[in-house]
Amino acid sequence: MTTTVRAALRGRGALALLGGLSAVLLAACGSSSSSSPTTTAQPATTTPAAVASTTSTTSATPSPVYEVRTGTVHGLGTVLVDGQGLTLYMFMPDRQSGQSTCYNACAQAWPPLLLPTGASTPLAGPGVQTSLLGTTRRTDGTVQVTYDKWPLYTWVTDSEPGQATGQGLNNLGGLWYVLSPQGKVITTRT
């Protein structure tokens, strides 16, 4: 492989090559009205650099979504997050009763942190007090994770770790806040 090709693969050329490869793959996946098989040409160069960069980011085993751990949110400090790093919230109408009051439209906007079928206990990740973790059974039979008797939820608007766009919202019947690793409600507005 020449130095020019290597440099292109490391820079913008790799993105262009990936874009071209994606277009070829999408075309191959599309439906065709003809009955003859469709063939696509292989690119003239292979893309080991692109494959390596894709697989290297997925080589670590991700944490299960239902794992409760800590993360940092600018302006709020260390808060509870799920296994994917998304901020977890509590709902004031739940009144730290260990029972959820968020159903229907509420649960669509604020998805409850649920245990998968067959799991009996939530997972405690780094920074979490295992003694504060618990569960509650929802009316549909699913099991929701709680922390210091607060049922836990995510917020559909948060799309990446470090976001807390639901902090302090008065939405769908009550206020939503994040929790500290000690189980304390953080009411600070960001």
**Residue-level pLDDT at 190:** 78
Report in angstroms the alpha-carbon separations of 55 from 49, 58, 84, 136, 185. Answer: 10, 5, 18, 38, 39
Residue 10 burial (10 A CB sphere; 0-12, 13-18, 19+): exposed
For 85-145, give the secondary structure using H, E and C: CCECEEEHHHCCCCCCCCCCHHHHHCCECECCCCCCCCEECCCCCHHHEEEEECCCCCEEE
Mean pLDDT of the chain: 77
- Among residues 157, 149, 136, the alpha carbon closest in space to that of 185 is found at 149
pLDDT one-digit tens code per residue, 120-156: 999 999 999 999 999 999 999 999 999 999 999 999 9
Residue 34 scores a pLDDT above 60: no
Residue 173 scores a pLDDT above 90: yes
Name the residue ranges covered by the structural domains of the chain. 3-30+39-57, 67-186
- Distance, in Å, from the CA atom of 3 to the CA atom of 54, rounded to the nearest integer, reads 22
